[in-house]
Structure 1
Amino acid sequence: MVSAVGTLKIHVDTADDFVMTKGQNRRTISLFLLALVVALPLAGCRTAKVGQRCTGNETAQTKTHVLVCKKGKFAVLMSKAEGLRLLAEYQAAQAAAAVETPATTAVTAPTTTVAPPAPPEVFKVVAGYQHSCAIVRGLVSCVGENTSGEIGNGNNNEALSWTATGIRDAVDISTRSQTTCALRVAGTVTCWGYGLGGELGNGAHANSNTPVDVLGINNAISLSSNGGGTCAVLANNAVKCWGFRFGSATPITLSVPPSTQIAVGSTHMCGVRLDDSRPWCAGGNGEGQLGNGTMDYSEPPVA
């Protein structure tokens, strides 16, 4: 790299030294020695005279100059003032070179490219009635039955190998019999497959072999699907659900405690309370699955 400072040209050869050229005069100066010019007065280096005997690579100083041992005698390396000036000019040249453009120098400054965020490191697999779906680093692929659009690839041909849905930013995935839903990085939810009971959450009562957005969900943090419906826990810890089981093709807010997690079963559902991390359950209780000591159905959540 060559940079110009007035009439003095400084050519950086290595990280440790540079060559000064002024007219035909060319000298290689160690940056270490320049630093020495600044450091010697503070380092307690011994004082000597020009011509005084010395050994090796010994250095010394006078009031105005830095001395270096050459052939057994101290010789002037340079004045302290010159060293400070050269060091300042070198630093200025380095700073100028850092902002030079291709129009003024043959050296092209490196460009910085900001890479897009890496896909989330999520690995999860779920299984429906006769299909399966998986997330691998944000990419969602499905395999198996496709009569209702379970594969999500735009057709209804069964898939004998893992087939991409086109979703590339999934952080969670949930499936029921023939419907699958994915939670996206932005907090939205996308569903595909069987939707005759409103299971896709897009307001329609129809199947879809491509992913469709669930209406009104933009801050979900987790999903759970089963028994004709899907539920999402939102960032404010509210719970919204949709599908045949909940009587709505668009998400509705349930009257349940603020929750950090939800699990939807075939006839009942349970969640984890935000305030004390205790479980609550609601719905069918024919086998005592609500855990309240009875076998009675309960719409309100019970502890």
Structure 2
Amino acid sequence: MGNGTTTNSSTPVVVSGLTDVVSLGGGIFHSLALLADGTVRSWGYNNHGQLGDGTTTNSSTPVVVSGLTGVVSLAGGEAQSLALKADGTIRSWGKNSSGQLGNGTTTNSSTPVNTFIEDVAQPVP
């Protein structure tokens, strides 16, 4: 819920400590907020490090995603999270059992890692 409890609610609740939110995302059991200053906060289930705060500890209030600035868009998968930075690079964190972080490994990461996207654009003959 992001309000410091684990109590279900059938009505909206205020997420603790968030201001200047410009975009939201989330996975199955975690949520993400992009702030106007380009930083990201996350909360919820964190068994694979999908909150990006360097731990695998669940959080019922938003935590800062470690070392991540300049973000313009974000998305959440089942147990992983992704951020697109203003410079066009992508950072990802969380579950990586099938290589979903895109960094060439299958190792989970509790902090953002570089995602390698090959330029697939081909010149027009």
Q: TM-score range, shorter-chain basis?
A: 0.7 to 0.9
> Hey, what's the Cα distance between the residues in 2 that align with 1:223 and 1:171?
11
Higher-Rg structure is 1
Match of 1:160, SS? coil
> 1:195 & 1:227 partners in 2: Cα distance?
11
Give 4+ residue runs of structure 1 displaced > 3 Å after superposition: none
TM-score by length of 1: 0.35
Is 1:153 the equivalent of 2:8?
Answer: no
Structure 2 residue corresponding to 1:241, chosen from 82, 92, 96: 92
How many Å separate the matches in 2 of 1:257 and 1:188? 25
1: CA distance, partners of 2:69 / 2:91:
11
- Deviation, 1:257, is 4.2
Which of 98, 110, 116 aligns to 1:255? It is 116
TM-score normalised by L of structure 2: 0.83
Equivalent residue number for residue 84 of structure 1:
none
Distance 2:38 2:52 in 1: 15
Aligned residue for 2:62?
211
Q: Gaps spanning 5+ residues in structure 2: where?
A: 102-107
Structure 1 residues not aligned, in runs of 5+:
1-150, 259-272, 277-303
| 1:240-265: CA deviation from partner (whole Å, max 9, x where unpaired) | 0000134100000011147xxxxxxx
Q: Secondary structure at the match of 1:250?
A: strand
1:203 CA drift (Å): 0.4
SS at match of 1:180: strand
What is the deviation of 1:154?
0.6
Name the SS for the 2:83 alignment partner.
Answer: strand
Return the alpha-carbon distance in structure 2 between the equivalents of residues 252 and 226 of structure 1: 15
Residue 162 of structure 1 aligns with which residue? 12
Residue identity matched to 1:218? T
> d(CA) in 2 for partners of 1:223 and 1:180?
11
User: How far is 1:159 from its partner?
Assistant: 1.4
Deviation of 1:227 (Å): 2.5
Which is richer in helix? 1
Equivalent residue pairs, number: 111
Letter in 2 for 1:252: V
Q: Residue 171 of structure 1 is aligned with which of 17, 22, 35?
A: 22
Which amino acid in 2 is paired with 1:217?
Answer: L
Provide closer, same or farther for how the CA distance between residues 171 and 257 of structure 1 changes in structure 2, counting only shifts above 3 A.
farther
Q: Which has the higher strand share?
A: 1
Q: Could you tell me how far apart the structure 2 residues matched to 1:216 and 1:195 are?
A: 18
Alignment of 1:5-84 (within 5 A): none
Q: Which digits, 9 at most, give the CA deviation of each residue in 1:39-98, with x for residues without a partner?
A: xxxxxxxxxxxxxxxxxxxxxxxxxxxxxxxxxxxxxxxxxxxxxxxxxxxxxxxxxxxx
Instruction: Confirm or deny that 1:221 pairs with 2:72.
Output: yes
SS in 1 for 2:10: strand
Aligned counterpart, 1:197:
48
